[in-house]
Amino acid sequence: AETGSLSIVLLGASGDLAKKKTFPALFNLYRQGFLNPDEGHIFGYARTKISDDELRNHIRGNLVPGKGASGEQLEEVSKFLQLIRYVSGSYDSEEGFQLLDKEISKHEFSKNTKEGSSRRLFYLALPPSVYPSVCKMIKNYCMNKSDLGGWTRIVVEKPFGKDLDSSEQLSAQIGELFDEQQIYRIDHYLGKELVQNLLVLRFANRFFLPLWNRDNIDNVQIVFREDFGTEGRGGYFDEYGIIRDIIQNHLLQILCLIAMEKPISLTPEHIRDEKVKVLQSVLPIEDEEVLLGQYDGYTDDPTVPDNSNTPTFATMILRIHNERWEGVPFILKAGKALNSRKAEIRIQFKTVPGQKQGRNEIVIRLQPSEAIYMKVTVKQPGLEMSTIQSELDLSYQQRYHGVTIPEAYERLILDTVRGDQQHFVRRDELKAAWEIFTPLLHRIDNGEVKPIPYRPGSRGPEEADQLLERAGYVLTHGYSWVPPTL
Ligand code: BG6
C-alpha cells in the first residue's frame, strides 16, 4: 500500500451531496482505519465564507449515529472533524486555488510524513457547469508536487451533460487537462453490495452459466422505485427527468453487468471493454416501447414550470442485438412518488413446457433487504400431490449476521484512493450510454412524447403494466416474497 501524505479535497463542501454522502463516507472510512490521521487530511472548499468550525458544525449532525450515541462515538466524530480544514474561494478564482494549494502543501511537508508523498484527491461535489473551470484551476495550481511523487485524481458525479453532444463536450474539456486514468466518474450504484456481486454470481456458478441466454431467459426487468417525490430538488430534477437521473446511468450500468460477456480478466479495462460492447449492441429505442409518467402535484413545486413535460416515471424496453440476447426484452423501469421503495433485478425464465405453475425467476434485490432468491416450483408439502411456487432464498441479514454492508460511497472513495477504476464509468462507456438515450430524450424535450399522469403513492400509470405484458413478462398470481425477519 502507498504511504505518505494523502489529501482529500472536497469541492462544494458546504453543499448537500457533501453533507449527506461524501463526509459521512469519509467518516466511515476513518472509523475503520482507512484514513490514517498521520497521513490523511481533508480539505473543504466552497464559496461560502465560513470558518473551519462552522463547516464542522454544519456536517456533524450527519455523522453522529442518532440519539443514543455513546461518549466514545462522539469522541470519534470530534477527532475526525479535526482533520478537516476549510478554504473559501470561488470556482474560477486563482487566489482561491493558490490558497488551497498552500494549505495542502503545509501538510505534505509536515514532519509526520517525511517519507514524502503527495497524493491529492479532488472530489467535485459540484454542478457540472463549473467542472471545466475547476479542473483548470486544479491543473494550474493544485497538482501534486512531483518531487514528492504521488498522484492527482479527480472524482466527478453525474449529471455528465444532458445529451450526447453536451456530454462529449464536457469529456473533451476535462480530457484536455487530465488523463483518463486520473478521472473517476462515480455512479454510486456500482458501489452497492449486490451490484458488485453480479459478476461473481454469473461467472462463478455452474447453475447460471449455461442458462444465461435467449434460449432460457424470457425477459429481464431492472426496477427502481422510490416512495417520495422530488421534494427540495424540483429545480434540478425538472431539467433532467427520471431517464437522465436514474435510467441512463444506474439502471443501464446494471444492464451491462447482467448482459456482458465474460471479460478476459478482472482488470478494470477488460471489464469496461465488455460493458462498452453491450452498450454498442443496444438497438434504437422504439416509441411504442416507452411509457412515461408524471405524478400529480409534481408541478406544484415553485421551482418546476407549470407546463413541465418532464417524466418522473418511465418504463422502456431495450433490445440487445447479439447472439446471446436477440429477442430478449430488457425492461428498465424507474419512478418517483410510487407506493414503495426498492431496487431489484428480475430475470424471468421461459415456461417449462406443460407446466402451468408459473415461471422460474432469479431476483436480485439490491435494496432494501438485500437478497438473492430463486423462484422455483415444488410439491406442496402434505399428502396431496400438487405443486406450488416457492423460493430458494439468500437473504443477507439472515445469512450474514452482524455484517454491516458498506455504503456505496464509502467503497467507491476507497477505490479512488487505491487507484482502482473498475467501478467507475469510462469515457467511451459514457458516450455509448448517451447514444442510446439521446434521440428519445430530445423527443421528450421537444414535447413529442408526453408523460401520463399518475397518482402519487400508486404503482405508476397502469399502461406501464400493459407494456410489460406485451413484452412477455408473466406475473405469478398468488405468490409474493416476504423478506425474512430475524
Ligand atoms: C441519485 C438520484 O443518483 O440516486 C436520486 O439523483 C435518487 O434522484 C438516488 O434518489 C437514489 O439512490 P439510492 O442509493 O438511495 O437508491
Q: Which residue owns the Cα nearest ligand 1 atom 13? A: 189
Distance 325 CA to ligand 1 centre (A): 29
Q: Which residue owns the Cα nearest ligand 1 atom 9? A: 246
Distance 250 CA to ligand 1 centre (A): 9
As for the ipTM of the complex, it is 0.97
How far is residue 171's CA from residue 30's CA, in Å, rounded to a whole number?
32
Which sequence positions are flagged as catalytic?
Answer: 250
Read off the amino acid at residue 354: G
DSSP string, 277-318: HHHHTBPPPPGGGEEEEEETTGGGSTTS-TT----SEEEEEE
Distance 356 CA to ligand 1 centre (A): 38
Distance 413 CA to ligand 1 centre (A): 17
Q: Which residue owns the Cα nearest ligand 1 atom 4? A: 246
Distance 310 CA to ligand 1 centre (A): 17
DSSP string, 310-378: --SEEEEEEEB-STTTTT-EEEEEEESSBS--EEEEEEEEPPPTT--S---EEEEEEESS-EEEEEEEE
Using an 8 Å Cβ cutoff, are 89 and 44 in contact? Answer: no
How far is residue 291's CA from residue 245's CA, in Å, rounded to a whole number?
16
Extract the C-alpha cell encoding 107.
501538510
Q: What is residue 267's predicted lDDT score, i.e. its pLDDT? A: 95
Residue 100: name the closest of 50, 44, 153, 154 by CA: 44
Rounded to the nearest 10 degrees, how much is the dihedral formed by the CA atoms of 81, 84, 89, 95?
160
How far is residue 310's CA from residue 292's CA, in Å, rounded to a whole number?
9
Residue 183: name the closest of 133, 129, 131, 127 by CA: 131
Q: Please report the atom of ligand 1 found closest to the CA of residue 249.
A: 3
Using an 8 Å Cβ cutoff, are 151 and 183 in contact? Answer: no
- Name every protein residue with a CB atom under 6 angstroms from any ligand 1 atom: 188, 226, 245, 343
Residue with grid cell 458525479, as numbered in its chain? 157
Residue 455: name the closest of 336, 343, 228, 295 by CA: 295
How far is residue 454's CA from residue 467's CA, in Å, rounded to a whole number?
16
Q: Please report the atom of ligand 1 found closest to the CA of residue 189.
A: 14
From 17, 196, 223, 226, mutation site for ligand 1 pocket: most ligand atoms within 8 A of C-beta? 226
Q: What is residue 365's predicted lDDT score, i.e. its pLDDT? A: 98
Q: Which residue owns the Cα nearest ligand 1 atom 2? A: 245
Which residues in the chain come in under a pLDDT of 50? 113
Residue 174: name the closest of 122, 206, 139, 209 by CA: 139
From 21, 157, 188, mutation site for ligand 1 pocket: most ligand atoms within 8 A of C-beta? 188
Question: Burial of 182 by CB count in 10 Å (0-12 exposed, 13-18 middle, 19+ buried)?
Answer: middle
* C-alpha distance across the termini of the chain, in Å: 39
CA 379 to chain centroid, in Å, comes to 40
Q: What is residue 356's predicted lDDT score, i.e. its pLDDT? A: 82
Using an 8 Å Cβ cutoff, are 355 and 349 in contact? Answer: no
Distance 213 CA to ligand 1 centre (A): 30
DSSP type of residue 207: T
Q: Please report the atom of ligand 1 found closest to the CA of residue 233.
A: 8
Residues 354-382 have pLDDT tens digits of 888 889 999 999 999 999 999 999 999 99
Using an 8 Å Cβ cutoff, are 160 and 253 in contact? Answer: no
Residue 223: name the closest of 114, 351, 367, 422 by CA: 367
Residues 385-427 have pLDDT tens digits of 999 999 999 999 999 998 999 999 999 999 999 999 999 999 9
Q: What is residue 478's predicted lDDT score, i.e. its pLDDT? A: 76
**pTM for this predicted structure:** 0.95
DSSP string, 97-152: HHHHHHHHHHHHTSGGGTT--EEEEEEE-S-GGGHHHHHHHHHHH----GGG--EE
DSSP type of residue 20: I
Report the DSSP pairing between strands 361-367 and 342-349.
antiparallel
